C-alpha cells in the first residue's frame, strides 16, 4: 500500500505534490528480486548508475553504459507494481546537447518502461531539463555531490561548504524552475539542505543531507550491508546481510567437504515419491 492510500502506480505529479508532506521513501534497485522487495515500501525506486560499482565492480560510475542501464531497468520493471521507477542517464549520454539527452532518455523510457529519468547537474543542465520536460520526459535532478563529475570536483567530498553553498543553492533553484519534479541533494551540509528544502518548490530527496528534506534515498546494498566494507557517514546499516551470507556460504562449503550435504532429504530414491513428482512438475528438479 502506497502513501497515496491505494496501489495505483505513483506518478511524477504525485511526487511533486508531496512537497512538505509525508517524507518520500526512495531506494535503488538493480534486479527483479530486489525490486519486488522494495516496491511495496517505496514511493520511488531508482535504477541508479551506482549499479556499475555495486554489481559490476567498477571503480566509479563513469564506465556505466546506456546498455547497462537499460538491461537493469528492464529487470527492475518486472518487479515494480506501484512505485515510481526512475532510471539514471549515465555519463556521456546527455551532456552534449538537449537533443542528445532527449534521444537517449526516450530510448531508456521505451526500452525499460520507466516513468522518468535522472540526470546530474544544476544550472548547466537547466536548459536540458526544460527541453526534456517540454517533450514528455519527466526529470529528477541531482545536485551537490554529483558522482559523474568526481574528476572535476576532486573526489567524493562534501559539497556546499562555505562560499560554495550559494552555488549549490542556485543549482537547486535552477533545476526546479526548469521543470524537474524532484531534486536529489547529495552530501551537502545539513543547514544548506534544510535551507534549500525550505526555499525551493521542488521536493528535495536527501542522501547525506538533512532529515528536513522532503524524502530520503539510499543505495539498497549499502543499507542492507551487502556492499563490502563501504561505510560512508550518511549510510545507516539496517542489516548486515554480507556477514550473514558469508557465514551461510562457509557452512555450505564445510558441509559439502564433510559430505553432510546433500543429506537424505535432499536426494531422490529409486522409486519415485510424491514429493519427487511435485518437484518435477514445478520445474524444481534437476
CA dihedral 236, 238, 240, 241 (to 10 degrees): -130
120 is in an annotated binding site: yes
49 is in an annotated binding site: yes
Query: Residues 6 or more apart from 185 whose CB is under 8 A from it?
Result: 143, 144, 168, 172, 193, 196, 197, 204, 205, 206, 207, 209, 210, 213
190 is in an annotated binding site: no
276 is in an annotated binding site: no
Q: Which three cell numbers stand for residue 181?
A: 519534479
Is 186 considered catalytic here? Answer: yes
Q: Counting Cβ atoms within 10 Å, is residue 158 exposed (0-12), middle (13-18) or buried (19+)?
A: middle
CA dihedral sign, ordered 167, 69, 64, 97: negative
Please tell me the distance from the alpha carbon of residue 49 to that of residue 99, in angstroms, as a whole number: 21
H or E element at residue 17 = helix 12-17
- The single residue of 96, 111, 166, 186 carrying the catalytic annotation is 186
Which residues, in sequence order, are bridge partners of residue 217? 26
Query: Residues 6 or more apart from 103 whose CB is under 8 A from it?
Result: none
Three-state helix/strand/coil letters over 67-102: HHHHHHHHHHHCCCCCCEEEEECCCCCCCCCHHHHH
Query: Residues 6 or more apart from 254 whose CB is under 8 A from it?
Result: 260
270 is in an annotated binding site: no
Using CA atoms, how far residue 278 sits from 1, 106, 268, 283, in Å, is 34, 45, 13, 9
Please tell me the distance from the alpha carbon of residue 188 to that of residue 152, in angstroms, as a whole number: 17
Q: Any idea which residues carry the catalytic annotation?
A: 186
Please give the annotated binding residues for Mg(2+), written as ranges.
Answer: 49, 88, 120
Please give the annotated binding residues for 3-methyl-2-oxobutanoate, written as ranges.
Answer: 49-50, 88, 118
Please give the annotated binding residues, written as ranges.
Answer: 49-50, 88, 118, 120
Amino acid at each position: 500500500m502506497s502513501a497515496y492510500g491505494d496501489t495505483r502506480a505513483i506518478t511524477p505529479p504525485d511526487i511533486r505534490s508531496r512537497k512538505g508532506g509525508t517524507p518520500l521513501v526512495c531506494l535503488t534497485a538493480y534486479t527483479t528480486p530486489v525490486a519486488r522487495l522494495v516496491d511495496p515500501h517505496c514511493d520511488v525506486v531508482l535504477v541508479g548508475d551506482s549499479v556499475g560499482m555495486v554489481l559490476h565492480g567498477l571503480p566509479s560510475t563513469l564506465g556505466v553504459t546506456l546498455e547497462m542501464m537499460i538491461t537493469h531497468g528492464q529487470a527492475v520493471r518486472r518487479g515494480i507494481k506501484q512505485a515510481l521507477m526512475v532510471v539514471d542517464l549515465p555519463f556521456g549520454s546527455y551532456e552534449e546537447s538537449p537533443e542528445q539527452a532527449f534521444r537517449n532518455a526516450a530510448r531508456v523510457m521505451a526500452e525499460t518502461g520507466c516513468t522518468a529519468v535522472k540526470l546530474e547537474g544544476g544550472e548547466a543542465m537547466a536548459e536540458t531539463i526544460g527541453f526534456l520536460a517540454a517533450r514528455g520526459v519527466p526529470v529528477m535532478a541531482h545536485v551537490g555531490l554529483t558522482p559523474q563529475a568526481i574528476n572535476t570536483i576532486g573526489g567524493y567530498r562534501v559539497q556546499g561548504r562555505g562560499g560554495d553553498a550559494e552555488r549549490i543553492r542556485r543549482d537547486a533553484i535552477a533545476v526546479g524552475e526548469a521543470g524537474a519534479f524532484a531534486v536529489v541533494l547529495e552530501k551537502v551540509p545539513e543547514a544548506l539542505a534544510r535551507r534549500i528544502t525550505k526555499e525551493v518548490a521542488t521536493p528535495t530527496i536527501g542522501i547525506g543531507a538533512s532529515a528536513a528534506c522532503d524524502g530520503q534515498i539510499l543505495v539498497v546494498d549499502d543499507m542492507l550491508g551487502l556492499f563490502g566494507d563501504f561505510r560512508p557517514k550518511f549510510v545507516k546499516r539496517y542489516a548486515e546481510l554480507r556477514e550473514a551470507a558469508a557465514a551461510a556460504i562457509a557452512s555450505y562449503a564445510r558441509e559439502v567437504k564433510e559430505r553432510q550435504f546433500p543429506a537424505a532429504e535432499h536426494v531422490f530414491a529409486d522409486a519415485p515419491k510424491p514429493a519427487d513428482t511435485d518437484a518435477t512438475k514445478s520445474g524444481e528438479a534437476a
